[in-house]
Amino acid sequence: MPCFHHKTIMFFKWHLLCVLSLLLQPCLATAQNNGTVRVGQYISAADNSQPWFSPSRDFAFGFHKLDNKDLFLPAIWYYKIPSKTIVWYASADNPAPRGSRLQLTADRGLVLDGPDGQELWKSGITMSAAASGFLYDEGNFLVADANSEMLWQSFDEPADTLLPSQIMERDGVVSSKRSQTDFSRGRFQFRLLQDGNAVLNTINLPSGTAYDAYFWSNTYDQNRSNAGLRVVFNESGYLYVVRENNQRVLLTPETIVPSQENYHRATLNFDGSFVLYTHPKNTNGNNGIWSVIRTMPDNICVNNDIREGLGGGICGHNSICTLNSLRRPNCTCPKGFSLLDPDDPYGNCKPDFIQGCEEDEGKSGEDLYYIEELKSTDWPTSDFERLTPSSREDCESSCLKDCLCSASVFRIDTCWKKKLPLSYGKMDPDDGGTAFIKIRKGEANGKKKRNIIILVGSVLLGSSMFVNLILGAATCLGLLIVNQKKLTRTQPHEGVSHMNLRCFTYKELVEATHGFKEELGRGAFGTVYKGFMDIAPNNLVAVKKLDRVFHDCEKEFKAEVNVIGQTHHRNLVQLLGFCDEGKNRLIVYELLSGTLASFLFGDCKPNWKLRTDIAMGIARGLLYLHEECCTQIIHCDIKPQNILLDDYYNARISDFGLAKLLTLDQSHTSTAIRGTKGKDDWIFSLKMILMPSMTLISCRGL
């Protein structure tokens, strides 16, 4: 059926439902169960408030509570799917406090008022004409007047999702969320431009200025005689652009699963990927997992048509975008850089060192910096010089000697020198180029301090014999302290026999974590911080600060660290070292990509093969802890947050063997077995992977 009849069909449905609602008026007095909402009906922002339902209860309209906040958003979601999949929301930049009210009024339409009566949001109605509302089985909420004429509908103001039967006209916009849990406006848009092209682009926050597109439908027409007219997501689940001559340009594959048995949605995710999903309507055994039909663009990190070069790209300034196995972007800071906002892994990166011609004071670049080589990496919009012809060695050397140069990229016989900030960073396996990034040497910053010390010492040494004697004694004492620290650093503490473990001083770990600045997470054993050390393959470590262990049991701590340090298995997180200094007890691990929790419970779910691979990896790790390592270890705190994934999605168990270190109010340990003796945690791997809604399984709770 032609798409431009959509609203006519909606009006016909509305008239029919109004007649039915009159016949069902006695039933509506007790409950709203056929989609109709009368003027005066409202929903309160509370934990267990009853939503409004569509006739089939495919959709619910009510309040969604924001994570870790006592704030709510009016939202529409799939009601029959176990995992709450939200398809529309409003007032994201001004969430509603508890006790707020969403009400259908005659003079303002659908309105959200705070507990104090202050208006937080309302539907776009300016006349006192609203008579009733209706939530359709398509997920659209409509407000109409007494003549059943439409005044407003949620389909005209989409959030981050399009649904079957929804149409987006020219200048229509779908905006992403800021993050997985932050529903405020994000950096990405899906738009239908006036020239007829449907595009994905980044924007500047908070102004909303649109930057270059990184995906386009190629439906523009300079003469506009056959340009794209509207974006249609039809009832069968096909998403396409309709041209002026009614020709369809598909954005979905040629064949998709039938809509009679499956739900469909198209969501612009917070990371900029526009994904078409499907989910069986019969949810038995599915647990709310959406399957991916198509991800647009096919490779979000690679963009070969950047014109203006404004904005940081998919991953922000100075960052590098890589594509994961689900065709979604991963963003990482290069060595020598760290996140500007530790809570935004997709944001800008800042250099951890000072660079510039004034800061370098005319010194040679070879003395101040070293080069980190990055294969197949480029920041294509940050050039300030091009050298042709050039060799690989000349490209590296030229940037190292140039105080204005922050990085260079060599490809074939051409060298591009680049300045900060580096934009649109990407890693493309098909790109034969090599990037050279300049990083300030660690000892360079300390050179000035050492020079000052030498100068002051020279003056003092020439002042008097008495001062010389004092300084000589102080020097000897200093040498003894330094040597003692070296011995402490290179030799394990008594009781720790494993030679691969390194004993750190507390000061070293403070410096490695920049004063425990970037927190990665919290758990029963303490807080984990991000650190930078050359003992790890990628120079990144996780420093766990144990703040709830026995502070008066040094022997116990060393014994437990010794046991953990002697474990070696591909499915266990590797312990690199520890600190046992006074009341400070810290453990240093290798830093991995992320937790299983964030992977399992995100929008894009892993397929069954990947799930079984992860489950088998966890099982192998548990088998090793239970039966194969020298001392039996029972974990006792197995949960998705304690399972880490490396870059290849291999499961790695963390925090094993730490339960015995907990204070008495946290652990019942009384045996030689590490952990709390209880029911076996073998079954965790199967339960957690196959039932992703489960967030905590412990050996005592099974």
Residues annotated catalytic, as ranges: 637
Q: Which of 252, 209, 246 is nearest to 230 (CA)?
A: 246
> Strand 426-427 to strand 434-440: parallel, antiparallel, or no bridges (unpaired)?
unpaired
Residue 650: partners with Cβ closer than 8 Å, 6 or more residues away:
570, 571, 617
Name the residue with tokens 């009566």: 117
* Rounded Cα distance, 204 and 646, in Å: 32
Q: Which two tokens stand for residue 256?
A: 């998709």
Burial category of 617 from C-beta neighbours within 10 Å (exposed 0-12, middle 13-18, buried 19 and up):
buried
* Rounded Cα distance, 641 and 304, in Å: 38
SS (H, E, C) 30-74: CCCCCCEEECCCEEECCCCCCCEECCCCCEEEEEEECCCCCEEEE
Residue 344 has what DSSP assignment?
-
**What ranges make up the beta strands (E) of 234-390?**
239-243, 248-250, 262-268, 274-280, 291-296, 320-323, 329-332, 337-339, 349-351, 369-375, 377-378, 383-387
Q: Which two tokens stand for residue 363?
A: 């010194």
Cβ atoms of 211 and 202 within 8 Å: the answer is yes
| Polymer length of the chain | 702
* Rounded Cα distance, 146 and 133, in Å: 11
CA distances from 347 to 205, 339, 343, 642, 674 (A): 12, 7, 9, 25, 40
Element (H, E) at 101: strand 101-105
Q: Which of 152, 151, 189 is nearest to 172 (CA)?
A: 189
Q: Which of 438, 434, 445, 448 is nearest to 366 (CA)?
A: 438
Q: Which of 64, 52, 252 is nearest to 140 (CA)?
A: 52
First to last CA, the chain: 54
Three-state DSSP class for residue 319: coil
Q: Which two tokens stand for residue 278?
A: 């499907």
Q: Which of 165, 53, 74 is nearest to 121 (CA)?
A: 74
Max Cα-Cα span within the chain: 110
Residue 370: partners with Cβ closer than 8 Å, 6 or more residues away:
438, 439, 441
Residue 81: partners with Cβ closer than 8 Å, 6 or more residues away:
263, 279, 283, 288
